[in-house]
Amino acid sequence: MRFERRFSFADRPAGDREHRLIETAQGVLAVEAPRGWPAAGIEAWIDWSKDLAEDWPNLAPDGLSPDKPFDGLLNSGPARYARRLAAWGFATGLFDHAADAEVFGDELLASIALGIAAPSSRPAAGARVHPIAQDRLPPARETGVLQLEDVEFEPALARLAAQSRAAAGARSGLPAWESRLAAVRDAVARCEGDARACADPQHNLALARAAQSARDAGVPDALIAQAVRTASLDPGFADPLGPVVPPEPLVVLGSGTVVEAGSAESFAAAAVGAETGAVILAFTPRDAEALTRAKSAPRAALDLDAFTGDDGDIDLEGLEAAARLWATALEIECACGFSEDLDRARAQHGWRAMGLTLAGLGDQLARQGLAHDSEAGRVLAASLFALMDAAALNASAEIAGRIGAYPEYLGDKDARLALPRSARQTARALAGIDNPAAARAAELYDGAIALAKKSGVRNVEITAVFDDRELGLRLGCRIDAAGGWSGAVTPIETADGPTVLALSDAAATALSRAGAETGDAEMHVLGRSSLADAPAIDHAALRSKGFTDIEIEAVETALASAPDLRGAFSPAVLGEGFARDVIGLSAEEAADVTFDVLARLEFAQSDVDAAQTWAFGAGDLVAWSDLPESLRPVFASPTRNGLLGMTAALEAFADVPRTAPITLDWDDDPTEAARLQSAAAAAGVRAVRLERAAPPQGPLFDLPSQASDPAPSRTPPPEPRTVERVVERVVERARARQKLPDRRKGYIQKAAVGGHKVYLHTGEYDDGALGEIFLDMHKEGAAFRSLMNNFAIAVSIGLQYGVPLEEFVDAFVFTRFEPAGRVTGNDSIRSATSILDYIFRELAVSYLDRQDLANAEPEGAEDGFGINSGDGESEETVPASRFISKGFSRGAAPDNLIVASFGSRRSRGEPTGSAAGPDVCPSCGDLALKRRGAGYVCDSCGAAPGMAG
């Protein structure tokens, strides 16, 4: 098999190239790329290059060796792809000489460099039947196409709907889950101190709040625990939940007559298909099988724009050569490419299904001034697609003559040859109306059928009508041949990098041919970014409303970046003084950047819409007053009937039916979906796939207030009676400082942290709440002592203004700085990570009963209250003078006042009952019931419950 050089040169790289700096997620890359290609397309090619297979046949010729330097285009990805296919083609016997294989590789690379074609992404590894060794495989599993009448049809639809709803819920819920889990990880990572305490919500209150927030958002506790574990091991680990994988499309076989009639099963298929976009309804068994094989088939697209000259003429010979070239490339990909699993690899080897399509057809029709819905547009599109299909079929038949037909050909021969025979008949009908593309296609079909009669064809399916957005991004055009043109606006990169919008080449060409002014058309589509001479809202109208040149200039400047006209008249643009003094806005309205100033200025909505179009553009050309009438249907969106008609015209020459979905409005009901599906069957398309358009942003329902009256009761209302009304009014007052009493109680705690003495003085309110602290440091520098004193004053002021002590504790415990280490002089705290950690541990233990922050048990009688907590019978009373300041009470407390032993405090988690200490007396209610011998006696009232007498 030989290829003549048509796109490549033997002595130099194809295409005009330049060095670019492309910003990617991994950083800025220096790339050699074709001149003028957009950065988004170059980045897509770089991503595609990362997933290329790297296996090469043994003993590859020197010119096809992977050790030979590659062409540097797009990080050498296209060169590696082309040379690998050429090497495998030579190894499988497609080329007689290594030089022929090298020319094939050069042509393949040049077609990519010139923007003629692009392949789809394929797995870099996986399952494969070896191209040369012909692996022995276990027998294939028996699989059949699901039919509308099967008993498994309804359960399959139910599973598909459930998977789609789960994926939709995950897409909307995952960001919320991710943020909640990130907060959990952050709460653990920011905690300082013992790792186990930081990972315990009982000890880490920030973690407790984050975990509760995550649980309220529906995050399972298992994921919360996993986030805690990963944050404890590595705080920088993101632990992503992973991408949301949509369900795989379900291919269903149904009779076209039954679907057109609207059976119950077809109605169910339409309802679920519109909701999920993943139901493909085929009308013949062969099309259903072809759609199933197409899921994993290698695919590529040819850009029709690359074959169109400046005069609008199409290079039919170039299109034919490119179709032959890429049909051969996809056949080699069928041989050496990998599949996701063994079943698909077996099917790829046995049937050699592939998909070659013609991209940019909609834009080509627009250039020619042909409406998508017109008969002339369908004829031209079908003829060009037929030429590509016939040329690719010839290549497949030629390959079959060299290395044989696909293994399943003998059992599929009659059905396979029926497709080109039907296509040849249709092409001859189109060629009878002075159509060179259709005439050439008919000749190629004749040759292909003659070759196929001798040796068959190499591929069960060769061409297809599909859509692939990632492939379209790399090729720079719309892939779906039946979907219409790409629109009147196209993004263009400027020389210094930013992307701007411009009139599309297809629209400009059509307007020039019709004699219309493209400059005026561009201003209508993209706007003028100015209100000068605008209808209704121009500079004169604004001056009549009180605007000066300063405000008009501010609006004109804002038009370049504002999203719409109302955004350019935001109070933030006009200034608060002008908004309040001239327009009359209140302070709240002037502070609201979304306030509608144009409505306050009493401009009618029609005037706003006209000025919006003038300044920001209409986005399309349909409503342009100077548009030639012949072009109005060309630039209009295709109707559903026109879309179905174009699909049927292209499917007459495609081996695989169109898989791109037909879009319904977002609020269409299942009945409308079933009606569209029935119309598709009646229009003669071979398969139909429905999809609902995305709903608009924002709330879709105007929900009633939750304070609505309850439903009336069925029971008769009770007799009216007069009752007093108690009116409760909540009055919010400004928070004021609550000062401490002039004579206040508290305590002084002396301790040493890491050998540095610290004196903590506390001041309390009459109810015992903490109101102030003082800190004294012994033999420290003046700067450090002053800093600590002022810190204590700041904490005291916060406490007196109502800041809870818990907030200070959460903020400052586990802080780490010197001095730190061993603590002496405190019976509950034996170590601290800093002075602040010690201080707020002590306050938490003393005032908040936070025993979790104490790292020692009180020794003997020195617990938190200084009361003996022994569990023996030798408990003694303690004089109250040990805890009550005689000076503070000024002698009001009698000298014989004692603290009873039953007032001792038990540690948390200690069981109640006589074994652990006093119990509650049923007579007096005091916690003074103690076991005495065989019974209980209350130390307060002397009662002996449960004893005789």
Minimal CA–CA distance to 187: which of 129, 231, 220, 233? 231
Q: What is the mean pLDDT of residues 919-948?
A: 64
Q: Are 742 and 772 in contact (CB under 8 A)?
A: no
Q: Is pLDDT at 934 greater than 80 in this prediction?
A: no
β partners of residue 748:
761
Q: Is the pLDDT of residue 947 over 80?
A: no
Tell me what the mean pLDDT of segment 684-700 comes to. 85
Q: What is the 3-state secondary structure (H, E, C) of 171-206?
A: HHHHHHHHHHHHHHHHHHHCCCCCHHHHCCCCCCHH
Reported confidence tier of residue 559, pLDDT bands at 50, 70, 90: very high
Q: Are 821 and 791 in contact (CB under 8 A)?
A: no
- Residues 900 and 941 sit within 8 Å (Cβ to Cβ): no
| pLDDT for residue 549 | 93
* Range scoring the smallest mean pLDDT among 28-32, 228-232, 648-652: 228-232
- Judge contact between 111 and 117, C-beta under 8 A: yes
Q: Would you place residue 165 in the very low, low, confident or very high pLDDT band (cuts 50, 70, 90)?
A: confident
What pLDDT sits at residue 888? 72
What pLDDT sits at residue 834? 87
Band (pLDDT 50/70/90 cuts) for residue 246 is: confident
Q: How far apart are CA 274 and CA 667, in angstroms?
A: 11
**Residue 777 CB neighbour total at 10 angstroms:** 19
| Cβ pair 104, 89 in contact under 8 A | yes
The pLDDT of 865-873, averaged and rounded, is 41
Instruction: Tell me the two tokens of residue 864.
Output: 């938190």
Question: In this predicted structure, what is the pLDDT of residue 647?
Answer: 95
Is residue 28 a contact partner of residue 9, using CB atoms and an 8 Å limit?
Answer: no
> Tens digit of pLDDT for each residue in 312-328?
889 999 999 999 999 99
Which tokens is 832 given?
A: 């601290």
Helix (H) or strand (E) run with residue 633 in it: helix 632-635
Percent of the chain at pLDDT > 90 equals: 47
Tokens coding 260: 């057109």
Write the CA distances from 651 to 12, 360, 687, integer angstroms: 40, 16, 9
Task: Give dist(CA 411, CA 289) in Å, integer.
Answer: 14
CA distance 935 to 317: 112
Chain centre distance of CA 696: 17
Top-confidence residue, 764 or 782: 764
Q: HSE (CB half, 13 Å, CA atoms) of 673?
A: 29
Strand 146-147 and strand 250-253: pairing?
parallel
Please provide the distance, in angstroms rounded to a whole number, between the alpha carbons at the two ends of the chain. Answer: 118
pLDDT value of residue 719: 60
pLDDT in the model for residue 541: 93
User: HSE (CB half, 13 Å, CA atoms) of 550?
Assistant: 5
Looking at per-residue pLDDT, the higher value among 358 and 191 belongs to: 358
pTM (two decimals)? 0.70
Which tens digit of pLDDT belongs to each residue from 102-156?
999 999 999 999 999 999 999 999 999 888 876 766 666 666 788 888 888 888 8
Provide the pLDDT for residue 521: 92
Q: To the nearest whole number, what is the mean pLDDT of the chain?
A: 84
Q: What are the tokens at 630? A: 């012949």
**DSSP label of 793:** H
**Residue 775 pLDDT:** 86
pLDDT of residue 245 exceeding 80: no
pLDDT at 537 over 80: yes
* pLDDT of res. 742: 84
> Is the confidence at residue 933, as pLDDT, over 90?
no
Q: What is the pLDDT of residue 745?
A: 87
Closest CA to 80 of 123, 48, 58, 115: 48
Confidence of residue 871 (pLDDT cuts 50, 70, 90): very low
pLDDT per residue as tens digits for the range 363-419: 999 999 999 999 999 999 999 999 999 999 999 999 999 999 999 999 999 999 999
Q: How much is the pLDDT for 310?
A: 82
Residues with Cβ within 8 Å of 477's Cβ and at least 6 positions away in sequence, in order, are: 303, 305, 359, 360, 363, 486
Residue pointed to by tokens 């076989």: 253
Q: Is the pLDDT of residue 178 over 90?
A: no
Three-state DSSP class for 887?
helix
What is the 8-class DSSP label of residue 533? T
Residue 232's pLDDT band, with cuts at 50, 70 and 90, is low
pLDDT of res. 339: 92
* pLDDT (average), residues 86-100: 94
pLDDT the model gives residue 623? 87
Mean pLDDT across 579-604: 91
40-44, 544-548, 861-865: which has the minimum mean pLDDT? Answer: 861-865
User: Which residues lie closer than 8 Å to 588 by C-beta, 6 or more apart?
Assistant: none
**Which is higher by pLDDT, 458 or 134?**
458
Burial group, residue 817, by CB count within 10 angstroms (0-12, 13-18, 19+): exposed
Per-residue pLDDT tens for 786-830? 888 888 999 999 998 889 998 999 888 888 888 888 888 888 888
Q: In 3D, which of 519, 534, 603, 594 has the Cα closest to residue 564?
A: 594
pLDDT score, position 710: 47
- pLDDT for 948 equals 39
436 SS3 class: helix
CA dist 715 and 135 (Å) reads 81
Least confident of 461-470, 509-518, 901-910: 901-910
Q: Which of 293, 332, 262 is nearest to 119 (CA)?
A: 332
Q: Averaged over 484-496, what is the pLDDT?
A: 79
Q: What average pLDDT score do residues 278-295 get?
A: 94
Q: Report the pLDDT averaged over residues 37-53.
A: 92
pLDDT surpasses 70 at 625: yes
Structure tokens at 107: 């042509």
Residue 335 CA to residue 59 CA, distance in Å, equals 18
Q: In whole angstroms, what is the distance from residue 832 CA to residue 823 CA?
A: 7
pLDDT reported for residue 221: 85
Q: Which residue has the tokens 């401490």?
A: 740
Q: Which residues contact 176 (CB under 8 A, 6 or more apart)?
A: 217
How many CB atoms are closer than 10 A to CB 794? Answer: 10
User: Does the structure show a pLDDT above 50 at 867?
Assistant: no
Mean pLDDT of 595-623: 92
Instruction: Name every residue whose Cβ is closer than 8 Å to that of residue 113 and which is 6 or more positions away in sequence.
Output: 13, 14, 15, 17, 34, 73, 78
Whether the Cβ atoms of residue 555 and residue 572 lie closer than 8 Å to each other: no
- pLDDT, residue 862, reads 41
